[in-house]
Chains A and B, each alone.
Chain A
Amino acid sequence: MSRIAINGVSMSSLRRSQDVRRLGAWVLGALILAVMTGPSGTTTSPTAGFTGSLLHPRVLGYLAFGLVMWALSTARVRSRDRVHSATRGVQQLREKLLGDNRVRHGTYLVLLVLAILVPTQLNSFWQEVLVDQIGVFVLLAVGLNVVVGYAGLLDLGYIAFYAIGAYSAAYWTGALPVHPVFHLNPFYVIPLAILAAVVAGVILGVPTLRLRGDYLAIVTLGFGEIISIVATNLSSVTGGAQGIIGIPHFSVHLSSFHYQWGLSNLPYYYLLLGFVVIVLVAFRSLENSRVGRALAAIREDEVAAEASGVGVLKYKVMAFAIGASTSGFAGLLFASKISFVAPGDFTVQLSILILVLVTFGGMGSLPGAVLGAAVLQWAPEYLRNHPILGFQQQDLYIYLGALLVVMMIFRPSGIWPSRRRRRELALAEEGVGTADAMSGSSDPAAGPG
Chain B
Amino acid sequence: MCIIHPFWSLLVSGLSDGFLYALIALGYTLVYGVLQLINFAHSEVFMSGGFAGYFILNRTIGSHTPHGLDSVLMVVLGTVGGAVFGGLVAFGLERAAYRPLRRRNAPRIAFLISAIGASYFLYNLAGKEFGRDAVSIKAPFNLDGNAFRLFGAQVQTYQVVVAVAAIVMLVGLDRMVAVTRLGKGIRAVAQDADTASLMGVNIDRVISQTFVIGGLLGGAAGFLFGLNYGVVYTMGFTPGLKAFTAAVLGGIGNIRGAVVGGLVLGLVENFGSACIQTSWRDVIAFGILVAVLIIRPTGLLGERLGRSA
Q: Is A213 an interface residue (CB 8 A)?
A: yes
Which one of A218, A349, A403 contacts B38 once the chains associate, using CB atoms below 8 Å? A218
Q: Using an 8 Å CB-CB cutoff, how does the interface string of A123-137 with B read, 1 for contact, 0 for none?
A: 000000000000000
* Structural contact, B117 and A221, CB atoms closer than 8 A: no
Which one of B105, B113, B241, B282 contacts A429 once the chains associate, using CB atoms below 8 Å? B105
Q: Is A402 an interface residue (CB 8 A)?
A: yes
Expressed in whole angstroms, the minimum distance between the Cβ of B21 and any Cβ of chain A is 15
* Structural contact, A352 and B241, CB atoms closer than 8 A: no
* Structural contact, B108 and A213, CB atoms closer than 8 A: yes
Q: Using an 8 Å CB-CB cutoff, how does the interface string of A414-436 with B read, 1 for contact, 0 for none?
A: 00000000000100111100111
Q: How far is the CA of A161 from the CA of B149 in the complex (A)?
A: 48
* Structural contact, A226 and B283, CB atoms closer than 8 A: yes
Residues of A within 8 A of B238 (CB): 225
* Structural contact, B104 and A429, CB atoms closer than 8 A: yes
Q: How far is the CA of A425 from the CA of B105 in the complex (A)?
A: 10
Who on chain B is nearest to A425 by CB? B107
* Structural contact, A397 and B112, CB atoms closer than 8 A: no
Who on chain A is nearest to B120 by CB? A401
* Structural contact, A41 and B114, CB atoms closer than 8 A: no
Q: What would 14 more interface pairs be, CB under 8 Å, given A43-B131, A46-B130, A233-B279?
A: A40-B128, A41-B129, A41-B131, A218-B38, A225-B238, A395-B124, A401-B121, A404-B116, A405-B114, A405-B118, A408-B97, A408-B113, A429-B104, A436-B108
Expressed in whole angstroms, the minimum distance between the Cβ of B102 and any Cβ of chain A is 11
* Structural contact, B117 and A408, CB atoms closer than 8 A: yes
Which one of B37, B97, B245, B298 contacts A405 once the chains associate, using CB atoms below 8 Å? B97
Who on chain A is nearest to B128 by CB? A40
Expressed in whole angstroms, the minimum distance between the Cβ of B211 and any Cβ of chain A is 15
List the one stretch of A262-270, A377-385, A439-447 in contact with chain B: A439-447
Residues of B within 8 A of A42 (CB): 130-131
Q: Is B229 an interface residue (CB 8 A)?
A: no
* Structural contact, A214 and B120, CB atoms closer than 8 A: no
* Structural contact, A404 and B120, CB atoms closer than 8 A: yes
Q: Is A256 an interface residue (CB 8 A)?
A: no
* Structural contact, A412 and B38, CB atoms closer than 8 A: no
Which of B105, B132, B133, B286 has the largest number of chain A CB atoms within 10 A? B286
Residues of B within 8 A of A233 (CB): 277, 279-280
Residues of B within 8 A of A152 (CB): 107, 109
Expressed in whole angstroms, the minimum distance between the Cβ of A405 and any Cβ of chain B is 4
Q: Is B1 an interface residue (CB 8 A)?
A: no
Q: How far is the CA of A221 from the CA of B106 in the complex (A)?
A: 23
Query: CB within 8 Å of B: which residues of A?
Result: 35-36, 40-44, 46, 49-50, 148, 152, 154, 156, 207-208, 211, 213-215, 217-219, 221-223, 225-226, 229-230, 232-233, 348-349, 352, 355-356, 359, 394-398, 400-405, 407-409, 412, 425, 428-431, 434-436, 438-439, 443-445, 447, 449
Contacts A207-B294, A429-B106 given; indicate if A401 touches B124 (C-beta within 8 A).
yes
Q: Is B235 an interface residue (CB 8 A)?
A: no
* Structural contact, A401 and B122, CB atoms closer than 8 A: yes
Expressed in whole angstroms, the minimum distance between the Cβ of B42 and any Cβ of chain A is 11
* Structural contact, A394 and B132, CB atoms closer than 8 A: yes
Q: How far is the CA of A403 from the CA of B124 in the complex (A)?
A: 13
Interface of A is mostly: helix
Residues of B within 8 A of A36 (CB): 125, 128
Who on chain A is nearest to B289 by CB? A222
* Structural contact, A405 and B96, CB atoms closer than 8 A: yes
Contacts A40-B129, A207-B290, A218-B38 given; indicate if A436 touches B109 (C-beta within 8 A).
yes
Query: CB within 8 Å of A: which residues of B?
Result: 36-38, 40, 55, 96-97, 100-101, 104-114, 116-122, 124-125, 127-133, 135, 237-238, 241, 244-245, 248, 277, 279-280, 282-283, 285-286, 289-290, 293-294, 297-298, 303-304
Contacts A40-B129, A438-B107 given; indicate if A409 touches B100 (C-beta within 8 A).
yes
Which one of A40, A213, A222, A402 contacts B241 once the chains associate, using CB atoms below 8 Å? A222
Q: How far is the CA of A405 from the CA of B113 in the complex (A)?
A: 7
Expressed in whole angstroms, the minimum distance between the Cβ of B250 and any Cβ of chain A is 14
Residues of A within 8 A of B282 (CB): 225-226, 229
Which of A36, A408, A428, A431 has the largest number of chain B CB atoms within 10 A? A408
Who on chain A is nearest to B232 by CB? A43
* Structural contact, B118 and A46, CB atoms closer than 8 A: no
Expressed in whole angstroms, the minimum distance between the Cβ of B215 and any Cβ of chain A is 18
Contacts A213-B108, A226-B283, A409-B114 given; indicate if A49 touches B129 (C-beta within 8 A).
yes
Residues of A within 8 A of B106 (CB): 408, 412, 425, 428-429
* Structural contact, B124 and A397, CB atoms closer than 8 A: yes
Expressed in whole angstroms, the minimum distance between the Cβ of B44 and any Cβ of chain A is 10
Q: How far is the CA of A403 from the CA of B120 in the complex (A)?
A: 10
* Structural contact, B289 and A219, CB atoms closer than 8 A: yes
Residues of B within 8 A of A444 (CB): 298
Which one of A43, A223, A429, A431 contacts B130 once the chains associate, using CB atoms below 8 Å? A43
